[in-house]
Amino acid sequence: MQFSTLLATAVALTGATAAAIQNSTVKFTIESPNQDVNNKGLSSIHEGAAINYFFAGEASEAFGFDTKTGVISKTVEIGGNQSYEEFFGIQQGGNFQSLQTSPTQDNTKWAVDNGYLTGNGSDSFFAVKGTNDPYNYSEESYQIGIVAPHAPNVYKEVVPIKIKANLQ
Ligand SMILES: *[C@@H]1O[C@H](CO)[C@@H](O)[C@H](O)[C@H]1NC(C)=O
Ligand SMILES: *[C@@H]1O[C@H](CO)[C@@H](O)[C@H](O)[C@H]1NC(C)=O
Ligand SMILES: *[C@@H]1O[C@H](CO)[C@@H](O)[C@H](O)[C@H]1NC(C)=O
Ligand SMILES: *[C@@H]1O[C@H](CO)[C@@H](O)[C@H](O)[C@H]1NC(C)=O
């Protein structure tokens, strides 16, 4: 086989792989020196009008990850053959910004860098107790999000974490 043919074959194969992983399944696991959260899965709990917040749990929830557009989402079936799309995003604005799923897509560009989830290029996330979430789950469980750089220290516990993305 000529070298040019080999090259063309390699390009074709690479193209096929890229297309195949466009919407792959992703699950998230926490990595931290703190053993209370290390290796815990990210799972979401309903806390408002179609809003789910993420906590350090035993199970890792599965999402679809379009690695081309940087959108992470899942289809939620609501019965009667109806469904809607929930987007993985960040609740912007406060001192503690919750990682959430919501029917509204935000503009965060999600990616996987060295195996870790990044949002707009940052891989710094936190597991926090005492966030004042609506149902007070964070009194007992670690809620996942971003702590704003100059946030006042009003939380029960703030643990820096990285989020490992297991693409399948
Ligand atoms: C991507 O995959 C997820 C999980 O399998 C699914 O819920 C979602 O609807 C898919 N998104 C697209 C755009 O196909
Ligand atoms: C859902 O769709 C299937 C196939 O189109 C149909 O057979 C079924 O009756 C539908 N169910 C409801 C609750 O609409
Ligand atoms: C990421 O950047 C977009 C575009 O600037 C912005 O709308 C979005 O809020 C940012 N997300 C985070 C988590 O900072
Ligand atoms: C959560 O805690 C706050 C403050 O202690 C309290 O006012 C509120 O009623 C609690 N919410 C629930 C759902 O228990």
pLDDT 10s digits, 79-111: 888 999 999 999 988 999 999 999 999 989 999
Q: What is the mean pLDDT of the chain?
A: 88
Model confidence at 37: pLDDT above 90: yes
> Sign of torsion, CA 50 56 57 59?
positive
pLDDT on residue 96: 97
Stretch 54-68: mean pLDDT? 94
Please indicate, yes or no, if residue 90 is contained in any of the structural domains: yes
pLDDT on residue 13: 42
pLDDT on residue 9: 43
Residues 6+ apart with CB under 8 A from 23: 64, 65, 66
What residue owns the CA closest to ligand 3's atom 7?
Answer: 107
Stretch 39-57: mean pLDDT? 92
**Which position has the higher pLDDT, 96 or 11?**
96
Please indicate, yes or no, if residue 3 is contained in any of the structural domains: no
Ligand 2 within 6 A of 81 CB?
yes
pTM: 0.81
Residues 6+ apart with CB under 8 A from 125: 99, 117, 144, 145, 146, 160, 161, 162, 163
Under DSSP, is residue 8 helix (H, G, I), strand (E, B) or coil? helix
Which atom of ligand 3 sits closest to the CA of residue 109?
A: 1
Domain with 66 in it: 22-167
pLDDT on residue 50: 82
CB-based contact 85:73 (threshold 8 Å): yes
Ligand 4 within 6 A of 9 CB?
no
What residue owns the CA closest to ligand 4's atom 4?
Answer: 132
Please indicate, yes or no, if residue 142 is contained in any of the structural domains: yes
Tokens of 45: 């709990």
What residue owns the CA closest to ligand 3's atom 10?
Answer: 108
pLDDT on residue 79: 86
**Which position has the higher pLDDT, 49 or 17?**
49
Stretch 109-124: mean pLDDT? 96
What residue owns the CA closest to ligand 1's atom 14?
Answer: 23
Ligand 1 centre to CA of 87 (Å) is 10
Residue 6: pLDDT band with limits 50, 70, 90: very low
Please indicate, yes or no, if residue 1 is contained in any of the structural domains: no
Please indicate, yes or no, if residue 151 is contained in any of the structural domains: yes
Please indicate, yes or no, if residue 163 is contained in any of the structural domains: yes
Stretch 128-148: mean pLDDT? 96
Stretch 112-118: mean pLDDT? 96
Please indicate, yes or no, if residue 12 is contained in any of the structural domains: no
Q: How many folded domains does the chain comprise?
A: 1
Please indicate, yes or no, if residue 64 is contained in any of the structural domains: yes
